[in-house]
Structure 1
Amino acid sequence: MKRKKFKLGWRSLWNPNFGAPAALLILYIANAVFTPRFATVSNTLNMLLQVSTTMLIAIGMTFVIASRGIDLTVGSTMALVSVIVALLIKYGIFVAVSFALSAALLVGFLNGFLISRLKLDALITTLAALILWRGIAQVVGDGKLVPFTHPTFEALGKGYLLSIPIQVVIAGVVIVGAFFCIHSTLFGHQIVAVGGNEEAARLAGIRAERVKYIVYLISALLAGLAGLIETARLGMGDPSKVGVNAEFDAIAAVVVGGTPFSGGRANVLGTVVGALLMQVISTSFNMLLIPFTWSLVLKSVIILFAIFLPRNRV
């Protein structure tokens, strides 16, 4: 009987629990040394401020990908929510937010229906929906910016709680809630089970269709919340710019953080680290006056490493 050899090589360095945090730490320390004013409290808070909405949609994307799905509609959902809340805020914050989040939930419900009930391919379905909802957002907003003035609502994107930006606090609460859901609730275990082997999950009594409905609703709701925050920060609804490429930032954070496209595993903290890693790259390139396009190249390389290395570990 042959003894199994234990191999530890450079391919082992990137795993869901070590690779992304190590890369984040190395990049942060390197920038603290070589980038002036990078490691200041104000700059760190600014990075957290900028990445908070990405974290929200990335957490929702983690749930979807863990169930072996994909949701490309999150950016368009943000745009739809943005224009609706901007148009309705004159009728009161409750009315505007209620209608805006209801629209987001509608997007999630339709995604869930088409993918779980009609068995359509998640990638193609949400790609088509991405175009559809962005178009509807532009029609509703007449393709224009929708400015408004509402100090209470704007505090959602500009306010502070004990010197911490409110949107950072919201992201923190969502992260804690998502971590608890995945690791300590029956529904969290069902998501992982459905993503790992849907047929086996059905045989075990799990209602896979129901699970998929809920993860797409969660993704849409968090995208809607991100849209509200972004709109409050800008002080206007922008159906053309809000949420552009948000889905790709979210997917990058999820993949780099260790949640595989094949489903069956959800690494919430890894997603947070992945989002922070991408933000550190963007901020450092901006502070060093390096063209933004080069940051995209580096991000792409990191994403490829995150996908390639685990598949080749022995």
Structure 2
Amino acid sequence: MLGSNTMKPKNNRPKNRLDWQQVLQQYGGVITLLVLFVFNAIFTPHFLSMQTLNINLTQVATIVIVGVGMTLVIATGGIDLSVGSLMAISGALAPIIFMHPALGGSAAANLMAMVFPVLLAGLFGMFNGMLVTRFQIQPIIATLVLFIAGRGIAQVMSGGNLQTFTNPGFTVLGQGKLLGLPIQVYLMVLVVVLAAYLLKSTVFGRQVLSVGGNARAAELAGIPVSKVKLMVYTLSGLLAGLAGLIVIAVNSSSDANQVGQNMELDAIAAVAVGGTLLEGGKATIIGTLIGALIIQLIRYTLLAQGVPDAVALVVKGLIIVGAVALQKERRG
């Protein structure tokens, strides 16, 4: 009897604590998002206005789009530090195309300016993938090449000058609205839906997770590991290129020094906060969407409370550290 009485409290307490841990680990992102929303709804003037909603959605759309590509890369056990520079390259090329005198600002010129820069960014993403697969360079080093050189390429393309333009046929990507919501929000949703389907319901998606979980075992199982990695880096480049077009369309200008600045940090933070394991093998696109919304609302909250934007960079770094620590606790 004495033994049974002493055992009961020991069984109950760890179980209750574990339940709370599971709730926080599983729904921590959603809870954080709701807390930020409620805080701003109470303490931030005009937070619930349509204008504020559009501002936040406009700013978060590019983080989500780039974050989706980053999610796929990280799911294979890699990383892509070049996304910001690829955005700058895409953003530098587009005005060169639609402002070229030979094209005369035609609809065809705008279409070319929306397609060719994205394809070029995809080629650079493929280059990253080749460095990782064919030359067996660690992803952080392989993508560091374009992280540094890519922005220089963009500066050379633009002559180091700010490119301003007035082109409604192109700026619709960043300034157009449909049913009161910015066009880039619909692009963001489309990217999220397609990527979520790709990751959860296709053979390629299962291959991505298998490669990230154990590349050697995946190779022995007949999965083309190198092709899978090459594809995810290419997709990351394509999505970065699309995000670059949206940024310059919003601003009606292209600055190779500013387009995509610190985007790699935002994307990695969104992926980590969203629950994708940074060492690969597990990924969630919807989690990345939630993570990006959290990153954006934290930045908005700090600015609304008069905190300098530079502090947001420190907060983002701390968020990544916290997300990694939480992932380590989950594995434990």
**TM-score, structure 2 as length reference:** 0.89
Relative distance call for 1:94 and 1:37 in structure 2 (3 A) is closer
Residue of 165, 169, 172 corresponding to 1:155: 172
Say if 1:11 and 1:310, in contact at 8 Å, map to a contact too.
Answer: no
Structure 1 position 140, deviation (Å): 1.2
Residue of 40, 44, 47 corresponding to 1:35: 44
Aligned residue in 2 for 1:199: 216
Structure 1 position 13, deviation (Å): 4.9
What secondary structure, in the 3-state scheme, does the structure 1 residue paired with 2:35 have? Answer: helix
Aligned residue in 2 for 1:178: 195
* 1:165-213 per-position Cα deviation (integer Å, ceiling 9, x unaligned): 0001100111111111111111111100000000111111110001001
Aligned residue in 2 for 1:145: 162
Gaps of at least 5 residues in structure 2 are: 1-9, 104-108
* 1:206-257 per-position Cα deviation (integer Å, ceiling 9, x unaligned): 1000100110011000000001111111112211110011111000000011
What secondary structure, in the 3-state scheme, does the structure 1 residue paired with 2:261 have? Answer: coil
Question: Which range moved further: 40-49 or 202-211?
Answer: 40-49
* 1:82-134 per-position Cα deviation (integer Å, ceiling 9, x unaligned): 11101111321133233312211210111111101111110011112211111
Q: Output the CA distance in 2 between the equivalents of 1:126 and 1:310.
A: 24
The amino acid of 1:33's aligned partner reads I
* 1:117-172 per-position Cα deviation (integer Å, ceiling 9, x unaligned): 11111001111221111111111111111122221111111000111100011001
Question: Which range moved further: 31-40 or 18-27?
Answer: 31-40
Aligned residue in 2 for 1:59: 68
Residue of 255, 258, 278 corresponding to 1:238: 255
Say if 1:12 and 1:309, in contact at 8 Å, map to a contact too.
Answer: no
Q: Output the CA distance in 1 between the equivalents of 2:125 and 2:18.
A: 43
Q: Output the CA distance in 1 between the equivalents of 2:113 and 2:329.
A: 50
Matched, 1:46 2:55: yes
The amino acid of 2:296's aligned partner reads Q
What secondary structure, in the 3-state scheme, does the structure 2 residue paired with 1:18 have? Answer: helix
Percent identical across equivalent pairs? 42
Aligned residue in 1 for 2:281: 264
The amino acid of 1:261's aligned partner reads L
Aligned residue in 2 for 1:8: 18
Matched, 1:117 2:126: no
Structure 1 position 14, deviation (Å): 4.2
CA RMSD of aligned residues (A): 1.8
Say if 1:285 and 1:292, in contact at 8 Å, map to a contact too.
Answer: yes
The amino acid of 2:71's aligned partner reads T
Residue of 120, 132, 144 corresponding to 1:103: 120
Structure 1 position 297, deviation (Å): 3.3
Greater CA radius of gyration, 1 or 2?
A: 2
Structure 1 position 310, deviation (Å): 2.9
Q: Output the CA distance in 2 between the equivalents of 1:259 and 1:204.
A: 24
